[in-house]
Each structure stands twice: as C-alpha cells, then as structure tokens.
Amino acid sequence: MVADGDYVAVFHSIHRVMKAEKLLKGLRFAVLLIPAPRVLSSDCGLALRYAPDDREAVERALADASLAPVEIFVKLGDTYVAVEPTES
C-alpha cells in the first residue's frame, strides 16, 4: 500500500484528512486515503499517501488551504522517517 519513497501525511482528525483528500483529488493529485501505518501515531487512524514527484505541490496545496498535516513521513525500506514540510 505504501511503496518505498512514498510520503505519508498524518492529521489530527478524520474531518481534516477527508477534507484534505477531497481538496487534493479535486486538484487531480494521485493521493490515497490509507489506514495510518501502525508505527506512526495518528489520532484519527487515517493518513494520506502521495508520490515523491507530487510532494512539493501537494504540501503547498495543503498549506494554502490551511490543512497542513501534523506530521509527514517518508517510507525508507521498512521504516518511516519524519520529514519537515517542503518550503513554499
């Protein structure tokens, strides 16, 4: 479900993650609403997965809509590494 190099954005609530998904799909980004990986903390249990090629644009769109995630991770092998949001 999450490939090596994919990004996972974690939100505080189901409402926010679903609103973010709707926004990004409306902008034609290939995002996927997924169960938050067990090794990541998530208050709502859901997260958004997106490709490395879309990272900057996805994170900019979320920030512009005041829907910035609480945490962002990149999958590297068997682990998830926390990363800072890209600069707009």
pLDDT at residue 1, as a whole number: 82
Instruction: Name 48's Cβ contacts closer than 8 Å, sequence gap at least 6.
Output: 8, 9, 11, 17, 20, 21, 24, 31, 32, 33, 34, 69
Q: Round to whole Å and give the CA distance between 69 and 64.
A: 12
Does the domain spanning 7-83 belong to CATH 1.10.287?
Answer: no
Domain boundaries, the chain: 7-83
Model confidence, pTM: 0.92
pLDDT at residue 42, as a whole number: 61
Which helix H or strand E contains 82, and what residues bound it?
strand 79-83
Mean pLDDT of successive 10-residue stretches along the chain, which has 88 residues:
94 94 98 91 84 97 96 96 85
Q: Round to whole Å and give the CA distance between 85 and 57.
A: 11
